[in-house]
Amino acid sequence: IGYRMFDCAECYGNEKALGKAFKNYFDDDENSVQRSDICIVSKVWNTNHKAEHVREACLNTLKNLQTDYLDAYLIHWPIAFEYTGPGPCGNDGTPESIPKDSLGHCRLNRNTSIYETWKAMESLVDDGLVRSIGVSNFSSIQLADILSYAKYPPAINQVECHAYLIQENLLKMCRSKGITMVAYAPLGRPG
């Protein structure tokens, strides 16, 4: 029907279903659209920010989507949680899995920096697993930090942006640095 960009993430729980649909579609010789005609974006979840987990998460995403590469791979949020195991959002497989302590507080991974995560993302580009890398939910300050050491600057910053949350300054900064700002919830969020 003409839709060409597919927005995925470990925590959306949509990668396996889309992978099956892609395989069925691309295996049909009568279809004129090829893999190179679509854009597949996915995101590494907060529990997988450590370098070896970034790679593991990407390989899992590629397996789920049944593709050899991603057009873009984003850091989902600029915060690292404790590692909870392989799989979608950790070993329990639930969407929006956030590791919590006995008091219900999020267990952060304070030993993993965005620098480490970004360098691991860059290695995915070098290895041909990902065409471009970017971020999601990053502020201007967080983008400036990445730009200070990035071999490959972020291609995308996907953020909430709509009439009630214009993000004008962030948009100006992204434009000035050649970063495409992609809006989610462009019609606003419920409530």
Global pTM value: 0.91
Please name which of 71, 170, 51 lies closest in space to residue 115, comparing C-alpha atoms: 51
Residue 50 burial (C-beta neighbours within 10 Å; 0-12, 13-18, 19+): buried
- Alpha carbon 184 to its chain centroid, in Å, reads 13
* Per-residue model confidence as pLDDT tens digits over 132-157: 999 999 999 999 999 999 999 999 99
> Which token pair is 54?
């970034």
Q: Which residues of 24-46 are buried (b: 16+ CB within 10 A; e: fewer)?
A: eeeeeeeeeeeeeebebbbbbbb
Kindly indicate the confidence band of residue 45, based on its pLDDT and cuts at 50, 70 and 90: very high
* Per-residue model confidence as pLDDT tens digits over 94-110: 544 788 888 988 889 99
Looking at the annotation, which residues are catalytic?
12
- pLDDT above 70 covers a percentage of the chain that reads 94
Pick from 10-19, 144-153, 158-167: least confident: 10-19
